[in-house]
Amino acid sequence: MIHTENHIIGNCHITIRQGEHNQVNIGAQGKFNNLSISINGSHNTIQIADCVKFSGHLLIVGSHLHINIDTLTTAIDCYILARDRSVSIGSECMISRGIEIRATDVHKVYDEKTGARINTATCDICIGKHVWIAANATISKNVQIANGCIIAAGSFVNKSITTPNCIIAGRPAKIVKTGIRWER
């Protein structure tokens, strides 16, 4: 279901490559520019809440996965991949350009002796409320980000940050300042 009270600019499209029982729900009063939604699998859901501004690509590969983007979140040129696990983004987040959020490593790596996969995604990506992700940052599998955080430009986040209201920076990212708050 796509609410009719949305502002659509540019080339926006939804593609279901294969599968069944998939849902795309887009709330009211959103603004979408060059939005691409692709689903390859069954029983998946993409949920975009009211008053979201988004440009970029939302991709689900697999079954029983979801991508949720909560109210008043904005994103410019963002790529979100739910494969192996799901992705949730809280309300009032500000996501800059060149962002990648990947709930998988896509390419599998195995232990040579045991044959066991060693780079599996074990939990969903969950970005809290009012998180600012600055330009060209990457968020990898198994990551959860607490409310009120800032992820600095160019950072690579591969571990969860449970401390709210902090600045995260670096490759790999770590907490560089706590006790902050930010405004648009």
How is residue 112 written in tokens?
A: 């040579």
Q: pLDDT (tens digit, 9 = 90+) per residue, 126-169?
A: 999 999 999 999 999 999 999 999 999 999 999 999 999 999 99
**CA triple 4-52-100, angle to 5 deg:** 125
Distance separating alpha carbons of residues 133 and 69, to the nearest angstrom = 14
pLDDT for 2 equals: 66
Q: pLDDT (tens digit, 9 = 90+) per residue, 9-41?
A: 777 878 888 889 999 999 999 989 999 999 999
- Of 96, 151, 105, 65, the closest CA to residue 160 belongs to 151
pLDDT for 18 equals: 85
pLDDT for 53 equals: 95
- Of 59, 27, 63, the closest CA to residue 44 belongs to 63
Query: Could you say which DSSP state residue 2 is in?
Result: B
pLDDT for 4 equals: 63
> 37-44 contacts: CB < 8 A, separation 24 or more?
37/13, 38/14, 39/15, 40/16, 41/65, 43/19, 44/19, 44/82
Under 8 Å CB-to-CB from 110, ≥6 apart: which residues? Answer: 116, 117, 118
- Of 161, 158, 163, 156, the closest CA to residue 141 belongs to 158
Segment among 30-34, 42-46, 172-176 with least mean pLDDT: 30-34
Q: Has residue 3 got a pLDDT over 70?
A: no
Averaged pLDDT score across all residues of the chain: 94
Distance, CA of 166 to chain centre: 19
pLDDT for 12 equals: 80
**Considering the chain, what percentage of its residues have pLDDT values greater than 70?**
98
Better-scored residue on pLDDT, 27 or 177: 177
Where residue 1 falls among pLDDT bands split at 50, 70, 90? low
Distance separating alpha carbons of residues 148 and 115, to the nearest angstrom = 41
Where residue 6 falls among pLDDT bands split at 50, 70, 90? confident
